Amino acid sequence: MMKSFVSHSPAETLAIAAQLAGQLQRGDTVALLGDLGSGKTVFARGVAQARGVKTPISSPTYTIQHTYTTPEGLLHHIDLYRIASADDVDMLDLDACWQDAIDITLIEWAERAGNLLPPNTWRVTITTGKQPDTRQIQITPPDQGTSNVQSRT
């Protein structure tokens, strides 16, 4: 069932992300969707910190991927902002992050992956509110699949 939250600060966004982090299982992917500056990286930071990442979490916009070690395994943080199409994503071979169903993968700008995302993908949509720090956050679990979060064929 989809859950909706309102965040009034980055600290609240981190706390909402930590709630999701507690529900994630090894092999899960989180598609982070939202406009530039909506808080996707803040949300990713909250998940990573809650999963035990101790190093600073930053956006991998220019490197495309950062990988962090957690007590349970690896956490991949991917940013597809600079990727033009799903064909470009396919060439990056990012599906290696989730093919063994061991690691957790967070993907900013996940809509650019088209239908390449695995079926066990959570969808997190973040939209800005009327106040500068207010965000509407909708979290949809994998069993509530959507058109841009599908299994690869």
Measure the CA–CA gap between 54 and 38, rounded to whole angstroms: 24
Measure the CA–CA gap between 61 and 81, rounded to whole angstroms: 6
Q: What is the pTM of this model?
A: 0.85
Tens of pLDDT along the chain (153 residues) come to 899 999 999 999 999 999 999 999 988 999 999 999 899 999 999 999 999 999 888 887 767 878 888 988 888 898 888 776 666 666 676 766 666 667 889 999 988 887 778 888 999 999 998 888 899 999 999 975 543 433 322
* Pair type for strands 73-79 and 65-70: antiparallel
**Comparing C-alpha atoms, which of 64, 20, 12 is closest to residue 39?**
12
Quick one: angle between helices 10-23 and 40-50, nearest 10?
50
| DSSP three-state, residue 28 | coil
State what percent of residues in the chain have pLDDT above 70.
Answer: 81
Q: What are 83-120's pLDDT values in tens digits?
A: 766 666 666 767 666 666 678 899 999 888 877 788 88
What per-residue confidence (pLDDT) applies to 149? 39
Joined together, the tokens standing for residue 125 give: 């949509």
Query: Long-range contacts made by residues 92-96, C-beta under 8 angstroms, separation at least 24?
Result: 92/64, 94/65, 95/152
* Pair type for strands 29-34 and 121-128: parallel
What per-residue confidence (pLDDT) applies to 38? 92
What per-residue confidence (pLDDT) applies to 27? 87
Joined together, the tokens standing for residue 36 give: 């530039």
Domains plus CATH for the chain? 3-144 (3.40.50.300)
